[in-house]
Amino acid sequence: MARNRIRRNLTVIFCVALLSASEEGSGQTTSQWRVKNRLQTSYEFDSNIREVPASDSTKEIQDSSARFLFQSQATRNSPQTRVGLIFRTGLQTFFHNSIENKLINEVELTGSVKVWKIVAGVRGYGRLKLYLNDNLDYVNGNGEVFLQTPLFSSIASELAYQAAGINYQNFSIFDYSDNQIKWQISRKLTTTFTSSIEFSFRQIRYKRTLNFNPNQPSFGLKQKDDNYKVFFQLNYTRKFLVNLSYSFIHNDSNTQGFGYNRHQIVLFFGTPLFAGVWLRGYSAYQSKHYTEDFIPVFPIDLDTEREESNFFIADLSRDLNPGLTALLRLAYYNNESIIRSRFYRKFLVTAGFDIRF
């Protein structure tokens, strides 16, 4: 009952924040608030709605769904301060497998103030995922404080601390909290190229005890992971867009079977084909090696959608008028399933419209 009240309260908070931003942005002519809204409606075909691993491909289920996404973004900027609020709500309803129907609410908040040449600020994110005919509901989010130092030899630097966590309504064994320290350095190389590198250290504290081997030193202890990450990014912007990034993650765990090393390369590009028509591509390749052969009794997580390992996505969009765009997406995923080292594959075809107002 308490968790149900939490879910309802979070939903109310999301809606109140959205309405407050919209009212201030539209009702006060002297306000500096700017509000942008968009509504996306689409049809989607999914070749593997249950994310069944490739080794069990005979159990894959195909289905189609209707998707609805509404987003409202409010921003207010001045020479010394910046405030931003984004609210999203999305509904997906399947034609033949209603157990997969879901509703997702998300809110993002950013705020910063500039004192002399130093910028200090906060960021926040919250997500409430509700399965309309299943019991896998959860809420997750994070809060972050950051400090940006003045430019030095065209180099920008940001130091941030983040606290995050997840809470499943019915499966507390997957709940965790984590703390993370991040340091990012970025530099504009030329008028068209920018680069950045980020170092982070993350401590993850789970509410579960999964090591059942009394001969292991960690027997009877809560699972704790220490996560080290290096992230490098290169951007090109001119007549088209290219973003290339590489990340390396080393994860140590006191629970057998959860330590790993992971390399991932991600490429994004966008280019206009002709007036009003854009082609965008998004792809990733991952190499992941677990440091122990032991496979844990329990899965890594319950929501496979939060893991993106290997994929290729192609988006084609055409502007029909200033406020309406037609969309077509083809996507292939080969993501790690909730079972360690086992991957599931799926193809998605999405067609719809994006309305901006």
Judged against a pLDDT cut of 50, whether residue 179 lies above it is answered with yes
Round to whole Å and give the CA distance between 15 and 88.
10
Round to whole Å and give the CA distance between 270 and 237.
10
Is 65 buried (19+), middle (13-18) or exposed (0-12) by CB count in 10 A? buried
- Position 218 scores a pLDDT of 55
- Position 91 scores a pLDDT of 98
Judged against a pLDDT cut of 80, whether residue 3 lies above it is answered with no
- Position 25 scores a pLDDT of 43
Per 3-state DSSP, the chain is made up of helix, strand and coil in percentages (nearest 5) of 10, 60, 25
Q: Indicate if the alpha-carbon torsion angle 163, 130, 66, 68 is positive or negative.
A: negative
Judged against a pLDDT cut of 70, whether residue 187 lies above it is answered with yes
Helices (H), 303-346: none
- Round the average pLDDT of the chain to a whole number and report it: 90
Q: Are 52 and 60 in contact (CB under 8 A)?
A: yes
Mean of pLDDT values over 314-329:
97
Q: How confident is the model at residue 219 (pLDDT cuts 50, 70, 90)?
A: low
pLDDT tens column, 124-174: 999 999 999 999 999 999 999 999 998 888 899 999 999 999 999 999 999
Task: Provide the domain limits for residue 328.
Answer: 2-356
pLDDT tens column, 151-161: 888 899 999 99
CATH number, position 8 = 2.40.160
Phi (first) and psi of residue 233, to 5 degrees:
-140, 140
Round to whole Å and give the CA distance between 222 and 210.
8
> Which value, in Å, is the radius of gyration of the alpha carbons in the chain?
22
Judged against a pLDDT cut of 50, whether residue 24 lies above it is answered with no
- Low-confidence winner among 156-160, 209-213, 252-256, 273-277 (lowest mean pLDDT): 209-213
Round to whole Å and give the CA distance between 352 and 346.
20
**Number of folded domains that form the chain:** 1
- Position 6 scores a pLDDT of 44
- Position 216 scores a pLDDT of 62
Round to whole Å and give the CA distance between 300 and 173.
10
Judged against a pLDDT cut of 70, whether residue 105 lies above it is answered with yes
Cα angle for residues 248, 333, 129 (degrees, 5° grid): 85
Q: Are 331 and 44 in contact (CB under 8 A)?
A: no
- Position 316 scores a pLDDT of 98
Residue with tokens 């419209």: 353
Q: Are 140 and 167 in contact (CB under 8 A)?
A: yes
Residue-level length of the chain: 357
* Residues 288/293/295/300 CA torsion (nearest 10 deg): -20
Residue 39 has which token pair? 């509504």
- Position 238 scores a pLDDT of 87
Q: What percent of the chain has pLDDT over 70?
A: 88
Round to whole Å and give the CA distance between 270 and 239.
9
Judged against a pLDDT cut of 90, whether residue 256 lies above it is answered with no
Judged against a pLDDT cut of 90, whether residue 14 lies above it is answered with no
Mean of pLDDT values over 68-89:
96
Q: How confident is the model at residue 86 (pLDDT cuts 50, 70, 90)?
A: very high
- Position 37 scores a pLDDT of 97
Q: What is the pTM of this model?
A: 0.86
